[in-house]
Amino acid sequence: MMKQNYINLLLERLIDKRDYLPIRGQNGEVSVRDGMAIVEKTYLGNYMIVEIIDGDRFSKEEIAVRLEKNKNVLMNIDRTGCFFFDVIIFDSLPDEQKLSAIREGQYMDGSQKRALSCITVNLSEGAVEKQHKFSSPSNEIDKLLKACLKEDWKDTGNTIDLEGLMQKKQDELSVTFVARKPFFTYTLIIINIAVSLLIYLYQRRTGTDFNELLSRFGAKNNMLILQGEYWRFITPVFLHGGPLHLIINCYSLYVVGVFVERLFGHAKFACIYFAGGILGNIASFMFSTSMGVGASGAIFGLMGAMLYYGMEYPAHFRRYFGHNIIITIVVNIAYGFSAQGIDNYAHLGGLAGGFLASGVVGISKKRSASRVPGRLVFFVVLAAMAIGGLYYGFNNTQNSFLNKVTRFDSMANDGRWTDIEELGEDILSTGRANQNIKVNVLIYVVQAELNLGKYDEAAVHAKEILPLNAAWGHYTLGVIYFNTQQYELAEKELIEARSLNPSIGNIDEILNLINKNKTAE
Structural domains in the chain, CATH included, are 2-173 (no CATH), 183-395 (1.20.1540.10), 398-520 (1.25.40.10)
C-beta contacts of 142-145 below 8 A and 24+ residues apart? 144/10, 144/13, 144/14, 144/17, 144/18, 145/10, 145/87, 145/119, 145/121
Q: Among 118-127, 269-278, 365-374, which is the least confidently predicted range?
A: 365-374
Evaluate if residue 368 carries a pLDDT over 80.
no
Q: In the structure, how many helices (H) and strands (E) does the chain have?
A: 23, 8
User: What is this structure's pTM?
Assistant: 0.70
Radius of gyration of the chain (CA): 36
pLDDT in tens, 205-260: 988 889 889 999 999 999 899 989 999 999 999 999 999 999 999 999 998 999 89
Ranking 39-43, 287-291, 495-499 by mean pLDDT, the lowest is 39-43
| Percent over 90 (pLDDT), the chain | 51
Residue 391 to residue 388: CA distance in whole angstroms: 5
Helix (H, G, I), strand (E, B) or coil at 20: coil
Helix (H) or strand (E) holding 182: none
CA–CA separation, 239 and 133 (whole Å): 55
Dihedral sign from CA coordinates of 290, 293, 296, 301: positive
Catalytic positions are: 296, 347
Residue 377 sits at the vertex; the CA angle it makes with 310 and 382, to the nearest 5 degrees, is 80
Closest by CA position to 10, among listed 203, 178, 165, 216: 165
- What does the pLDDT read at residue 520? 66
160 has pLDDT over 90: no
What confidence tier does 312 reach under pLDDT thresholds 50, 70, 90? confident
